[in-house]
Chain A
């Protein structure tokens, strides 16, 4: 799904250069659930932004879904983001004056889908996250957990191959956080690759693979856990609760 080779990213100002990523190499296979962790300023978000084609990088190569996306134009990157990637952010990033239906509709609009097809996808995504009854609510009328579920519905409505989640539970209490993780696992179980950036070791443990980034390099990338075992492991603690 994703192959990065020697990716470097330097942020420059007049006075200083900050090396956010230093020859970072990483491979994520189709259908994997990968958790990325690391201390603040280690380069996790930069990695996620580059993976999501939100930022360019200075050197290295990046293949996404078998295609080299290292030197694409801005428009081409936008199209790939729209078709292949779903984003979930820590602060939800819903559009406040659009209702839930219209928020989930945003990426589908840019794909120029016909209205009936868009409606079908929006309804089924909201159904999946359990908010089908709240379509006409504004984001401000929902709790934080519900808002994040809307963001997840928006991310999956376009049926992307890859979900990138940046601290999706960072603004939620632990119960809500677990519900969000359940949803992400459900989506992953349906075949979508998920990359999750998190500080929370408990959440990271629920991922198939953990990657630790420090000072812009990957420290370790433990071997893949079979999906069946991971499902059991992930649900076991919740059962114990």
Chain B
């Protein structure tokens, strides 16, 4: 019967082309609005390394000023970065399977063939674990060794983009390049890698979480070796009577938080052990006069980390609500039109009932018509949604807003569009189809 119902649906929709266009258009507009906002929302909030969600943990401790919380709006939340003292101590633990420290410094790259002047390159100082923990893909070469972290050895990893810029995308592994006037050996070149949001370092805030990645990577200890002040996020507090921050040495001994720490703990037992280790360190420091705020040590999974940083902006949430409200308005209009159309054709349903159609069959026939309408609306909505996303990208092409960077259509978006159009329109069509299915067979036969 499905084929028969489909044929009847197409005939019925073609009988009233104006109404059909109106309904398909209304559904498509609502769906398109939802696609655009859902895609942006989904891209902003998704976990780019979901397969390691239960093994990677960001480490936080509340080392902040005992007189006031780090974030007055969320007093129970500790700073998302660590001080140099705490980060380097915790990094010394051998409980995690892997571990890494992250910060940004400014670097100048020079000495590439044909390069006439040094270029500034935002450089991530980190450890070898970074590349392994976050499954960073390499185009050429690979990460530096753990031994290189200790030296530190003068080794550098270039981003795909930087290698493109300096070496025209050729294999530059083994070459040397000047980084901050020192000769570094290139050990690896990343393949294109741009996880969004940039889950491993969400301290950029706002668009920074979706912005460009580092252009170069060097071992973490080069920061302190060269006394390179971090760029990017750094928050400090000074205890009453303490001298102000003046030298790099002061920074290392200060209460400033500027290092993000991640650990890889593949089992619950290791996780417990590492948390015990952190708590023991906290207790020791507390006894020595630091950490005067309530104990607030946390290991955050990636998904929790994204939520903690409120990666999905309030404006995105608001837009999503508005889009769904718009879809609801479109569907309510569609329900009205469908109801009017179906009830106008109720005499025909009466004839079918007289000829032996059961209520369920009349209901199914009209529901199939609604489904055809939903599918048409979904396809048109998809096209409008793709156009809408292209519009968003064009609109924000020259701004730092995250919208322009995440407004890309993907399979999940298509699935959402189809599911949304199907479910919402079918739900909207249930009542009109049910109403016409209740048609009394005798009611219209005399008057038709």
Contact = CB atoms under 8 A, between A and B. Distances in A.
A124 interface: no
B440 to A, nearest CB: 8
Interface in A152-196: 154, 158, 166
Given A95-B351, A97-B15, A78 B445 contact: no
Interface residues of A, number: 29
Contacts of A6: none
Interface string A60-91: 00000000000000110011011100010111
B353 interface: yes
A49 B440 CA distance: 11
Contacts of A91: 446-448
Given A89-B445, A90-B446, A93-B445, A98 B356 contact: no
A106 B352 contact: yes
Nearest to A164: B354
Interface residues of B, number: 25
Nearest to A87: B354
Given A82-B356, A109-B4, A110-B355, A49 B442 contact: yes
B11 A98 contact: yes
Interface string A129-158: 000000000000000000000000010001
B359 A75 contact: yes
28 contacts: A45-B446, A49-B442, A54-B353, A54-B442, A54-B445, A55-B440, A78-B353, A78-B356, A78-B357, A78-B358, A78-B359, A81-B356, A82-B355, A83-B356, A90-B446, A91-B446, A93-B354, A93-B448, A95-B351, A97-B11, A97-B12, A106-B355, A107-B356, A109-B4, A110-B352, A110-B361, A111-B356, A166-B445
Contacts, number: 72
Contacts of A54: 353-354, 440-442, 445
Contacts of A55: 440, 442
B355 A81 contact: yes
Contacts of B358: 74-75, 78-79, 110
Given A93-B445, A93-B448, A74 B359 contact: yes
Contacts of B12: 97
B351 A93 contact: yes
Looking at A52, A74, A75, A158, the one whose CB has the most chain B CB atoms below 10 A away is A74
B354 A79 contact: no
A155 to B, nearest CB: 9
Contacts of B355: 81-82, 87, 106-107, 110, 154
A54 B444 CA distance: 11
A112 to B, nearest CB: 8
B366 to A, nearest CB: 14
B268 interface: no
Interface string A91-127: 1010101100000001101111000000000000000
Contacts of A93: 347, 351, 354, 445, 448
Interface in B396-448: 440-442, 445-448
Nearest to A78: B358
Interface of A: 45, 49, 52, 54-55, 74-75, 78-79, 81-83, 87, 89-91, 93, 95, 97-98, 106-107, 109-112, 154, 158, 166
A213 B306 CA distance: 81
Contacts of A83: 356
A110 B354 CA distance: 11
A158 B354 CA distance: 13
Interface string B350-389: 0111111111110000000000000000000000000000
Given A49-B442, A95-B352, A109-B4, 6 more contacts: A75-B360, A89-B446, A91-B447, A91-B448, A98-B11, A106-B355
A81 to B, nearest CB: 5
A130 B446 CA distance: 26
A21 to B, nearest CB: 14
Nearest to B445: A89
A7 B112 CA distance: 104
B250 to A, nearest CB: 86
Contacts of B440: 54-55
9 shortest interchain CB distances as A-B pairs: A82-B356, A54-B442, A107-B355, A110-B356, A78-B358, A49-B442, A93-B351, A54-B441, A55-B442
A79 B356 contact: yes
B1 interface: yes
Contacts of B446: 45, 89-91, 166
A124 to B, nearest CB: 18
Given A49-B442, A109-B1, A95 B348 contact: yes
Contacts of A90: 446
A81 B348 contact: no
B352 to A, nearest CB: 6
A55 B1 CA distance: 26
Contacts of A81: 354-356, 441
Interface string B11-55: 110010000000000000000000000000000000000000000
Interface in B154-209: none
Q: Which of B1, B12, B351, B357 has the most CB of A within 10 A?
A: B351
Contacts of B351: 93, 95, 106
Contacts of A111: 356
Contacts of A82: 355-357
B21 to A, nearest CB: 18
B442 A110 contact: no
Nearest to A105: B4
A139 to B, nearest CB: 12
A99 to B, nearest CB: 11
Nearest to A167: B446
A54 B4 CA distance: 24
Nearest to A106: B355
Q: Which of B354, B356, B361 neighbours the largest number of chain A CB atoms within 10 Å of its CB?
A: B356
Residue of B354, B355, B360, B446 contacting most chain A CB atoms (<10 Å)? B355
B354 A52 contact: yes
Contacts of A45: 446
